Amino acid sequence: MFTRLISLLFCSGLAFADTAPTVPALTYSTYLRDRFTPNAIATDSSGNIYLAGNVIVDPSTSQTTVLVVKLNPHASEYVYVRYLGGSVNDYAYAIVVDSAGNAYVAGVTTSPDFPVTSGGNLGTAPSSGTERSFVAKLNATGELVFSDLLGGSANSYAQAVAVSASGQVLVSGTSVASGFPSTPGVYSVSDTAFTPYLLELDPTGTKIVFSATGIGGSAIALDSSGNIYVAGSTGFLTYPTTPGTYQPAFPVFQTCLAPCHGTFQGPNQYVTKLDPTGAKLIFSTAVSGTGNTFNDGLAVDAAGNVYLTGLAGAGYPFTVAAPATPLGPALAALATPALPFLTKLDPAGQKLLFSVPVGGLGVKVDSNGFAYAGGILGLLGNYDVAASLPALANLPAGCLLPNPTRGGSAYVSRVDASGNVLGSQFIGGSNLTISGVALSGTTLWIAGATNLPDFPFSPIALTGSSLRPTPQPGAYLGAVDFSQPQPPAGTPQIGCIVDSADLEPAGPVVPYQLLTVFGAGLGPA
């Protein structure tokens, strides 16, 4: 019999303008499902929650297939559970939901028998050792509406998906071979090997409206006018940029892969805005430093401001003091990127409005211009992130992992329109990663993966059938409400609960287990 603990709150900021002071609170937290790695999360207008990723269907061979689940707004029961795939391996990397509750899922398959609906053969089926992008549409009850292969005979994988108000489906990703097809009148390159792509399908999923190559990314967003935004990272200095933008030239620097027998141009982050037809490049700019920079999130607010998040190495353009690397500038450029960032650009892509060291794993923005981002703590690369990030300045030292190289602990933050961190919620765990965030009102839903369910469990959560440590990751689902009223001064606040013996994070506990509680105001002076 388990006793479940619910983390109360951890606050690193105070009031919002013109509203009563609020703080974040972890309101839902659970280990959801064995052998399921959710790579994307979305919510609909009714508050239902959608997860898409890959699940291991044969533990002996680690064969995977796509899994899409829909939960009710309280995540107290499944609305549907849908498997999609063939006889080899299939992965979903992105999901978006339209106003009718239809879910659009994009990813990659290596299965020659991946299910394709009539008219969906927009790419040839993969053969041995090849991979194809796919996009599929599920209706509100989880029935398959269409399923398409993309990219002709070129190896490729889809990383992002969006849907317009009129039902047009946009897919972006990377072609890893020559021959990815393009259409006239849009940006294209002669050799598509290891270059991004961006394409649009009609609402039936049977016709390509346009297909551009050499442009695209791992994240995609639309504004209210239908303009298309893509963001990603590239090691090529030939990705198109436009004059007069924030950073029209990519920084040139060398990086390497351990054990560093040779160096090469490191990856830079970029963001690109196109008109709704995909024919006009409105702006395209790098947003990078002198070290490896990887994008892992894109959002656009009602005014057209652009938000980027990810992980960066040395020299990233922060507008506040950023944690310093102990390696020195020369070695920092070669280091694994470790420093999270949340960056905001103006609608013209010309000005850096703010750039703060927070988040790194998914970003959403609400109608008030507040940005929400997920992140992970631990000794990431060569930065002592937990001790340096202002978003977590009030986190008790006892909540940090005794052995941070083993994994990481998750957190989420809320940032105002000027870049001030209004509040952060520490989630904990010793090997919990965040793969995506989705916003429903003032609640931020978090999807992730873990093989050690040692984080707080909420009492009403859907708990997986197995809570044993397992070498194969399982799904995590959590929710943080950023509208909880601020407690009176002096109210005890819990930062984390750990096992007293080794100060490791504690999830479900057993009777008579000794626990240590870290926080503020927990006892007499």
Percent of the chain at pLDDT > 90 equals 65
Q: Which two tokens stand for residue 403?
A: 């052995």
Cβ of 211: how many Cβ atoms within 10 Å? 23
465-499 per-position pLDDT tens digit = 667 767 778 999 999 999 988 888 888 888 889 99
Residue pair 7/439 in contact (Cβ under 8 Å)? The answer is: no
Give the contacts of 161 (CB within 8 A, at least 6 positions apart): 94, 95, 96, 104, 105, 106, 135, 169, 170, 171, 172, 220
Work out the burial of residue 318: count CB atoms within 10 Å of its CB; fewer than 13 is exposed, 13-18 middle, 19 or more buried. buried
Residue pair 309/355 in contact (Cβ under 8 Å)? The answer is: no
pLDDT of residue 512: 93
Q: Is residue 507 predicted with pLDDT exceeding 70? A: yes
pLDDT of residue 3: 31
More confident residue, 123 or 149: 149
Q: pLDDT category, 402, cuts 50, 70, 90?
A: low
pLDDT of residue 469: 66
pLDDT of residue 465: 65
| Sheet with 195-201, edge to edge strand ranges | 156-163, 169-175, 195-201, 208-213
pLDDT of residue 16: 32
Task: Name residue 36's beta-bridge partners.
Answer: 55
Average pLDDT over residues 323-339: 55
Give the contacts of 331 (CB within 8 A, at least 6 positions apart): none
